[in-house]
Structure 1
């Protein structure tokens, strides 16, 4: 990995660790203008669309924060494991996931793909639909 990309990754992780509604607009420092962001709910391209995801997150969750757990780096790509901690209507949740990041020649993220299981980490823990998700998962489990 190039030294400038390594520094860019560390700066990005520091930004995620301190992300707030006031710092969402700083994403331009870390993402290329046409960067792609994909997770189980979103598949967008461009800074404005990526910022919309974070703005939405702050509007619909309580005290969201990312805790970086592990970082693996190879040349212009990185894999990060993380916990996303947040509240909804007073209930606390933790989503465990991973991100694959691809960097461009300027050290900016050009492709960001999040991997996490919404059925296990989110829906299964929610009132009303949690029971249905648990039942459905049990139907597909190998016994």
Structure 2
């Protein structure tokens, strides 16, 4: 058991370091993008429409229409950080969505609320989906908020997702969840 725990801890540490390397300056990138990327000033109705379009597109995740539907939401050049990955072009994002789409099914995304401040809409959502990994399917559930800015064509030019991947994803994954629990046994 000690050997397994050591191997698991080593593997997760390495994985964490590799993952951290992909976004070395998350806070600085967010600060810069948030200051430099300005969307149109929003009202309540526009914020709600952004939320409805966002939820509608992500409700097709796991289907053949998902990549096409989300492709209609985003501008060619953008800033998006979904907590696990960061992108600056629509092409990179759509490629990511294509890969992600292969691992999910039975997706249900509900819009909880949509608010705004100046040019940022804050979309509060709840997502439930089946995730396939290592030949197993696990139902996942996560709450989150997405800060979204759109251009004058209604396309997303800035998106920062706020959600808890530890509890919304990692803890539920086959094998990974057990290893994660070994690392953070105090978090139930």
Give yes or no for contact 2:138–2:172 (8 Å, CA) kept in 1: no
Structure 1 length normalisation: TM-score? Answer: 0.78
- Tell me the CA shift for residue 5 of structure 1: 4.3
Give the Cα separation in 2 of the matches to 1:7 and 1:97.
16
4+ residue runs of structure 1 moved beyond 6 angstroms?
none
Name the Cα RMSD after superposition. Answer: 2.6
Q: Contact between 1:30 and 1:108, CA under 8 Å: does it hold in 2?
A: yes
Structure 2 residue ranges without an equivalent (≥5): 1-41
Q: Is the 8 A contact 1:8 1:30 kept in 2?
A: no
1:72-111 alignment to 2 at 5 Å? 72-87=115-130, 88=132, 89-111=136-158
- TM-score w.r.t. the length of structure 2 is 0.62
Which of the pair is proportionally richer in strand?
A: 1
Instruction: Give the Cα separation in 2 of the matches to 1:64 and 1:78.
Output: 23
Q: Specify which structure has the higher proportion of helix.
A: 2
Instruction: Select the structure of larger CA radius of gyration.
Output: 2
Corresponding residue number in structure 1 for 2:32 = none
The question of 1:31 aligning with 2:74 is answered: yes
Are the counterparts in 2 of residues 27 and 47 from structure 1 also a CA contact under 8 Å?
no
**C-alpha spacing 1:136/1:13, structure 2 compared with 1 (3 Å):** same
State whether residues 5 and 103 of structure 1, in contact with CA within 8 Å, keep that contact through their aligned partners in structure 2. Answer: no
Query: CA–CA distance in 2 between the matches of 1:7 and 1:93?
Result: 25
